[in-house]
Every structure is written in structure tokens, then in C-alpha cells.
Amino acid sequence: MSTIRNQIRTFALVLGLAGIAPAFTPAARAVAAAEDAAVKPDTKKLTQHLKEHQTYPATRAELLAACNGLVEFKAGEKRWYAEHLPEGTYKSAAEVLKALGKK
């Protein structure tokens, strides 16, 4: 009886590990890296957020903090935003967009 229990436990452990193992495959790591790669956010979505949901004046740190809490933007979009937004205090969405090179 004990042997059967051990076999069942082993089988359950193997099944559990099988669900975790794909996260460590090279393909899974490549997908995760691609999702986190810096990518330019959609201009319309960014403009809408900056105009409708951001308060001004806002420092770079405040803008980045607000961005990090958003679910509408993927990690890669947030990374691009952080990499391209210069230090400063911004008085409006237009100033932020200008600093990002958008007109």
C-alpha cells in the first residue's frame, strides 16, 4: 500500500513540475524578453492618457510613477517611455509629447 502512495505522490510531483517546466524553456524566455523589450507606445493611447488622466505640473518621476501603475500599457511600452522621457517638470500633455519627439 505504501508503494502505491509513493508512486501516486511521484506521479503528482511530475505532473506539477511539467506545468512549471515550460516557463524555463528557451522559447518561453524569448517570448518574455520580446514582451519586455522597449517598444514605442501607440501615440493615440499615450496622448489620451496624458491629456485625460495625468495632472500637471508633473515631474519626470511623477509621470513615470503614474505610467507604471497603468495596465493599458505593456512593460515594453513603459520601458520605452522611461528611456525617452527627459528629466524636467512638464506643464501639459503637449510638453510631454514634444519632449518625446511627438508633435
Give the per-residue pLDDT at 45. 92
Output the pLDDT for position 37: 77
Give pTM, 2 decimals: 0.63
Peptide bond into 57 cis (omega under 30): yes
Q: Give pLDDT tens digits along the chain (103 positions).
A: 577 777 777 765 665 555 655 555 665 555 555 556 788 888 999 999 999 999 999 999 999 999 888 888 899 999 999 999 999 999 999 999 999 986 4
**Residue ranges covered by each domain of the chain:** 2-36, 43-99
CA pair distance 95, 54, nearest whole angstrom: 12
| pLDDT value at residue 67 | 83
Going through the chain in order, the beta strands assigned E by DSSP cover 58-59, 89-90
